[in-house]
Structure 1
Amino acid sequence: MIKSYNGEHTCVISKKNVEATSDWIAKKFVLVLRDHPEMTAKGIIAEMLKFGVHPSRMQVYRAKKKALEEIEGSHGISYSKLPKYAELVRIHNPSSICKIHYDMPNLIMKEPRFLRMFISFKAQKDGFLAGCRPFVGFDGCYLKGPFGDVLLTAVALDGNNSLFPLAFAIAETENKETWSWFFHFFEEYFGPFGSHVPLTFMSDRQKGLNLAYEEKVPQADARYYCRHIYSNLKLQFPGLLLRNYFWEVAKSFDIVGHNKAKAKIKDMNIEAWKYLSKIPVSAWARHSFKPEIKCDHIINNLTESFIAWVGELRGKPIFTLAEGLRRKMMKKFHKRFQNGCTWTNNITPKVVKKMKVMAQQYRKCELMLATENMFAVRDSEKTHRVNLTNRTCECGAFQMTGLLCKHAALGIVYRREPLEA
């Protein structure tokens, strides 16, 4: 339709023409997105310009929505595919777990409402029990779909200090109830965890997470996310000097350094010292961690990195999200297997890299021998006794991480032995 205003012609597009244009753009969207799923809206607009079409932002939005629904399915319909998906997981990936929980308040209700789903594959269980440290981080994040679901994750560390996803769940919200449901199946699938197992769970203490695992897996030691502790501390007691003292308290491997840094906080701000004293030291200070774990992590970067790794899948329908995570983890595990087959050393590459850094740090230390395996090392104003037979050092880092500290490394280099041994 063309109308004339003051001698100028203006094209007016009717609602029916707008919908037809959006449908045409959507068809082009489907063709482009199938070949280039990573293409953005700006890229699509550039493709449309090749056909002489100048779509508006709303046309692009509607067209992309239609195209994604045609390729991936709608968010609502995706939930109906989950029972069949769970059955296929059990058939084609035996010994895996895929549990779905529905809300069915009465028997008259024909279609129960989806609440949550828990998934973990056999390769994840075997890898955790065979090659990971008994240290697991837990966290949750909101999904970007229309129903406000959350993604609950459990992530461990493998022998190369790389992320090792253990399980994930999609739930209606993040609270003590959903986390208790998560830990019920986590303990059932990966456990049972006896009191003899040195297990540690890291959390940010938010939304009932720590209350849930203390109830479901009471034998696991709690470790708190230090960055979250500091964020709460900073709200009440801001200051750059206090921040430095806090991280000095948290990162110290020996009790002497811990108490010394904590005394500085007490002298500077007694209320901040009281606030930190209420938090169990064993949950956030390195020197009090169990050495059997061989993990000195005080921040929960492993789960945050995993959530970032999930990426655009957070906005996909639930079926596409679950299948997309399975594919990404399968590719990641196979790639690590291929890399592992090329290693010629018994020590993983990341550990070798740490050894090289350590080789630069011991140069400023002074060695005082007692026997071949027992000696003292003077480092600045402190002197540390090292016992290579027992793999201990008074600095605490040797027994806490299982890796050579700079004091032990100095004694090994003096004996002209390789650090990797």
Structure 2
Amino acid sequence: MDKHCAETTSDWMAKKLVGIMRDHPNMTSKGVEVELRKYGVKPSKMQIFRTKNKALNEIEGTHAESYSKLPSYAELLRNNNPNSCRPFVGFDGCFLKGPFGGVLLTAVALDANNSIFPIAFAVTECENKDTWRWFFYYFQEFFGPLDNNIPLTFMSDRQKGLNLAYEEIFPDATGRHCCRHISNFKSQFPGILLKSFFWKAAKSYDVVGYNEAMASIKDINIAAWRYLDKIPRSSWCRYVFSSELKCDHVTNNFTESFNNWVGDFRGKPILTLVDGLRRKFMKKLHKRYQKGCTLTANITPRIAEKLTQISQASRKREIHMASEDTFEIGDGDRSYIVNLSKRIYDCGAFQISGIPCKHAALGIIYRREKLEHYCEA
């Protein structure tokens, strides 16, 4: 078979596949082979590869054509998306798999049900301070002006130049570092005990718990203690997080969940990528809206589940009455004062998270009140 005949055959097979792959865009090479055999064709691996690529180009356009249409697509999005922003935003970048490479930069927030809420994304040639500065510049221009009364907090994995970039564009923003990515701690200071005390220090809602954990780290390995002590506590320790924000996250897991959720789009032509993500966002948020319309409680399902766990944990604590709304709660070798009317909780968990802690929960249950009435998240 000469070259011209081979190309003609490949074109014919591609046309047969277009209609099928529109309905099944993730069809595997094996699936392509099965479909072509229905027409009496026994394709080689190279023919399957070429045929599949031609069919995808017909459906999605080529990578080069897609990039050429991107400016007009971006303008369309600007004209049709309302301005909105959340005070707690996670940022991350992931590599694209197409022939032009590139990095997908994303900004993701959390909704009231602790589900991912995509805010913005962009495609850049690489990930460094300059590209992140560009991203933050347009992030501010698109969503700003931001309310200065709301503490704006950015969570990240400390990627190349990211924190330097947002410090220039958002000098008043607070930065949090994902505790799973605090650079080199795990590799430099291995060990189960060090790891457990590190997470105790990060997750403690009060300074006493933090100090106890750090003292244990210092006893085990003073170099590890020195390493952590140099990192600003505001970037990784719960007990110093803003009480206005009502968010106690110490990891960037939700942005990594978003990257996994993006899935196969990372290998698509640019226009298919961005339009596919837009449609996926719309579909997800519409389903979330429909589900929200059916809810009858004042709190979301995940918060309700968390309150159930807190209620169960509170049963293991001791309560001592001081007055109708003031209690002393015994928890192991420590005691905590809870004042429900003044919303004073010694352990600090409620102030940071906006959700009643196990100590407050015991007093609320004692008064035969509902935990959800005390939620501020």
Class of the TM-score when normalised by the shorter of the 2 chains: over 0.9
Verify: 1:298 aligned to 2:246, yes or no.
no
Which of the numbers 135, 147, 155 marks the counterpart of 2:108?
Answer: 155
Which of the numbers 45, 51, 61 marks the counterpart of 2:39?
Answer: 51
Note the aligned Cα RMSD (angstroms): 1.7
Which of the numbers 286, 297, 300 marks the counterpart of 1:334?
Answer: 286
When normalised by structure 2's length, the TM-score is 0.94
- Secondary structure at 1:364 match in 2: coil
Which of the numbers 261, 272, 285 marks the counterpart of 2:213?
Answer: 261
Q: Give the match for residue 71 of structure 1.
A: 59
Q: Tell me the amino acid that sits aligned with residue 150 of structure 2.
A: V
Q: Deviations over 1:115-173 (max 9, x none)?
A: xxxxxx31xx33x3xxx5x1110011111111121111111111111111111111111
| Percent identity of paired positions between Structure 1 and Structure 2 | 61
Q: Offset of 1:273 from its aligned partner?
A: 1.1
Verify: 1:365 aligned to 2:317, yes or no.
yes
- Change beyond 3 A, Cα 1:70–1:272: same
Which of the numbers 187, 197, 203 marks the counterpart of 1:245?
Answer: 197
Q: Offset of 1:72 from its aligned partner?
A: 0.5
Q: Deviations over 1:245-265 (max 9, x none)?
A: 211111111111111111111
Q: Offset of 1:385 from its aligned partner?
A: 0.8
Q: Higher strand proportion, which one?
A: 1
Q: Tell me the amino acid that sits aligned with residue 137 of structure 1.
A: G
Structure 2 unaligned runs (5+)?
none
Q: Give the match for residue 229 of structure 2.
A: 277
1:111-122 equivalences in 2 (<5 Å): 121-122=81-82
Distance 1:48 1:221 in 2: 57
Q: Offset of 1:31 from its aligned partner?
A: 2.3
Distance 2:350 2:270 in 1: 45
Q: Tell me the amino acid that sits aligned with residue 154 of structure 1.
A: A
Q: Give the match for residue 202 of structure 1.
A: 155
Partners of 2:150 and 2:245 within 8 A in 1? no
Q: Tell me the amino acid that sits aligned with residue 247 of structure 1.
A: W
Distance 2:91 2:180 in 1: 15
When normalised by structure 1's length, the TM-score is 0.85
Verify: 1:349 aligned to 2:281, yes or no.
no
Partners of 1:193 and 1:219 within 8 A in 2? no
Which of the numbers 346, 349, 362 marks the counterpart of 1:397?
Answer: 349
Partners of 1:194 and 1:219 within 8 A in 2? no
Partners of 2:150 and 2:244 within 8 A in 1? no
Q: Give the match for residue 309 of structure 1.
A: 261
Q: Tell me the amino acid that sits aligned with residue 77 of structure 1.
A: E
Partners of 2:155 and 2:177 within 8 A in 1? yes
Verify: 1:29 aligned to 2:17, yes or no.
yes
Structure 1 unaligned runs (5+)?
1-12, 94-120
Distance 1:186 1:31 in 2: 39
- Change beyond 3 A, Cα 1:240–1:324: same
- Secondary structure at 1:202 match in 2: strand
Q: Tell me the amino acid that sits aligned with residue 27 of structure 1.
A: K
- Secondary structure at 2:372 match in 1: coil
- Secondary structure at 2:299 match in 1: coil
Partners of 2:93 and 2:127 within 8 A in 1? yes
Q: Offset of 1:193 from its aligned partner?
A: 3.3
How many residue pairs get matched? 373
- Change beyond 3 A, Cα 1:382–1:34: same
Q: Give the match for residue 48 of structure 2.
A: 60
The structure whose Rg is larger is 1
Partners of 1:157 and 1:164 within 8 A in 2? yes
Partners of 1:199 and 1:220 within 8 A in 2? yes
- Change beyond 3 A, Cα 1:141–1:335: same
Moved more, 192-201 or 141-150: 192-201
- Change beyond 3 A, Cα 1:71–1:257: same
Distance 1:274 1:394 in 2: 28
Moved more, 236-245 or 346-355: 236-245
Distance 1:266 1:86 in 2: 52
Q: Offset of 1:66 from its aligned partner?
A: 0.9
Partners of 1:138 and 1:201 within 8 A in 2? yes
Q: Offset of 1:357 from its aligned partner?
A: 1.1
Distance 1:302 1:326 in 2: 18
- Change beyond 3 A, Cα 1:46–1:80: same
Q: Offset of 1:48 from its aligned partner?
A: 2.5
Q: Tell me the amino acid that sits aligned with residue 172 of structure 2.
A: Q
Q: Give the match for residue 233 of structure 1.
A: 185
Q: Offset of 1:27 from its aligned partner?
A: 2.2
